[in-house]
Structure 1
């Protein structure tokens, strides 16, 4: 049976959820930034090309196909600019990044509090008060994050990343569980040896 108090388990769950939200929003931010660049770079290139081409040929008589090509490129640049403006990729990916950093701050504070508890610097009563404060902050971040939607695909990727990280770097609570399980096994083996020697 685990000797880890429920208060610490609640804090560990909050830490886990905050890390998961951080991964979700950071991944969504990368996707949004890629879309911003995907739309933005062609706009700049097309406009530079058209501007320099038509400026150099301002008095020249151009064949019809070049006029139509120029018009099509100008429409493409306007279309991409409209898509970029409508979806507001830059604001979206910056918002995801900001929310992700706020979740990261919550996760780090949870880790710090768990460490203080295991080092006997913080007791359960104070830890309980801190959890209440963290839950309030977490709820406020969740409300701000509603504007920045994370797709199911990005969320599943974040869960995968979170699970991989948990396997590579067990949390303090998981390390404590492992130590307690090892101590339990040793105690059972000692008891078995003592019983078999009688």
Structure 2
């Protein structure tokens, strides 16, 4: 049995896993950015309505209701801003993008290492050494980004995206 046969299989697994994790992180970043944008837009609209003379048109006959409507809009806007600040989706999105970039780097390097090994451009010892380096990078990335783990939905979406790309590539 070839001394690197099992390592080769482990590298294939590392390539698959790093691809899935990078895609899941990018999905999480996209989802959190959408939430941040949605809440931000709602806050802008609430503030616009508070300070716009347009709202007066709806309460021409009843100025007391105008005051109540403005107060409600102010409370809603403040509550939305509080939620947006508490969840900090923009920062989390940036963290997921950083994680995705790191896993992308690992994924690309695993592909290059597989190609070098298949083409016999490196020795078995060099192959094992580079595999161990990449595996350590993967484990370090897992440790570094343990505070921003993508959701199961992000992983499922990643798996589906990867499957779709594979189908389109072979079509």
Question: Normalising by the residue count of structure 2, what TM-score does the alignment of the two structures yield?
Answer: 0.86
Specify the alignment match of 2:106 in structure 1: 106
In 1: Cα distance, 2:168 partner to 2:130 partner: 28
Corresponding residue of 2:36: 36
Is 2:93 aligned against 1:93? yes
Structure 2 equivalent of residue 68 of structure 1: 68
Shift of 1:52: 4.1
The Cα offsets for residues 85-140 of structure 1, whole Å up to 9 and x where unpaired, read as: 00000011111111011101000000011111112111211010011111111111
For structure 2, list consecutive stretches of 5 or more residues without a partner in the other structure. Answer: 57-61
Aligned to 2:59: none
| Residues in 2 aligned to 1:167 and 1:48: alpha-carbon distance in whole angstroms | 47
Q: Which residue of 1 aligns with 2:151?
A: 151
Tell me the CA shift for residue 5 of structure 1: 2.2
Counterpart-to-counterpart distance in 1, 2:145 and 2:167: 28
Secondary structure of the equivalent of 2:120?
coil
CA 1:87–1:106 in 2, change beyond 3 Å: closer, same or farther? Answer: same
**Greater displacement, 141-150 / 78-87:** 141-150
State the structure with more CA Rg: 1
- State the alpha-carbon separation in 2 of the partners of residues 45 and 153 from structure 1: 30
Q: Which residue of 2 aligns with 1:11?
A: 11
SS at match of 1:162: helix
Per the TM alignment, residue 19 of structure 1 is displaced from its structure 2 partner at its CA by 0.1
What are structure 1's unaligned runs of at least 5 residues?
A: 57-61, 171-198
Identify the residue that residue 193 of structure 1 maps to in structure 2.
none
Equivalence map 1:43-192=2 (5 Å): 43-53=43-53, 63-169=63-169
SS in 2 for 1:122: coil
Q: Return the offset for 1:51.
A: 2.8
Q: CA contact under 8 A between 1:29 and 1:94: conserved in structure 2?
A: yes
Q: TM-score, normalised by structure 1?
A: 0.75
- Counterparts of 1:31 and 1:14, CA distance in 2: 25
